[in-house]
Structure 1
């Protein structure tokens, strides 16, 4: 068991989960499985010096496994990520993207979809979304952008219209939860069609990983697990362009002590 008394942050990179666990339609169960797999891997290490620590950060990574990898140049690959935010803190966007780029060894993401904190669906005022979206827009700026295209998740027509009305970088897509509703509202469909916003579906929970689930997963490894809560979860998918063949899928998590 790891003594976490001297660390303030835990980062976890599952690497390519296609090498480690069976495919699941339930993203929460899939995420819990890969965290437990990572915890088990570290618990089985005979040399505890193999834990990666940077300042007050503990970084947990499953080992690289190239056996199932498909060698491709970056130009032939599409990197898409969905960021699940747990707080209305704009800095999370930049930190999560920078961490993902570093871990994936790439210069940019083709698509970043932002899932605002759980209660966003009850908020429609521009000030609720603007700080986070403006932070995301900065990642699309410059000659060498870190993000090419931005998307959103679970916005209704009013929220999407409000965001689009002032955003410099317009959302290219809006993911709709297929579990909660099988029928997309007509006003949302019409607005998306008129403004070039692709409506996609997903089956993620608003809070993809609860505090309790995370604590239960890390309990065998982290001594004082009850004080740790997720700060963000980023899911990435790498596919081969044109063929849309799935090459990699993984999760990255940041948790902080409370």
Structure 2
């Protein structure tokens, strides 16, 4: 069995003054946080956590200290607190319904020093599988969250190569494009509001990339490829018949 990892670093030190106490608490559980003066450096050796456990007392203190500041972290955590609160000292928060990128975007929006945050992620695997390695880079600004994976780069290279090579007798029957998948995510969420509570922006580029890899890994299109080849062969015969008939 192969284990997949996504080591991630936030390249800019984040000023502590720009974070609400709740954002600092949540991000320090999603990532490892190293203090450097008045800033924190966030990183995750295996990948950002999708579920975190927060000490009940510390969470309550952070929520009270962050009151009055609108943020993704406050809205999401408040909406996902169990009711009534458990007696246990630790409260589990499932983060699969949001994305830590939005928390950093909130920080950039209110910061007087950060114009953007850049994120670099590696895709690695415990076994040398061809689909287990790669990476992506993200740019988080006050207005947008942009990302491009190594798969996107390779797709661009392949498209350029095909344009330069012209028609060499090889025809691409199917290509899974991450940009197309992202557009389909938006269409699906818009068409069926009951499907999920997520907004389109909550589905990150990393989510799309991981999903594409999973679909490719479990897909077998050999039957479709054979059927397409058979139909093309029949069409070639008919084309030849028509051409020869016209010539006669």
Whether the TM-score (by the shorter chain) exceeds 0.5 is no
- Larger Rg, first or second structure (1 or 2): 2
TM-score range, shorter chain: under 0.3
Say which structure is richer in helix.
Answer: 2
TM-score with structure 2 setting the length = 0.26
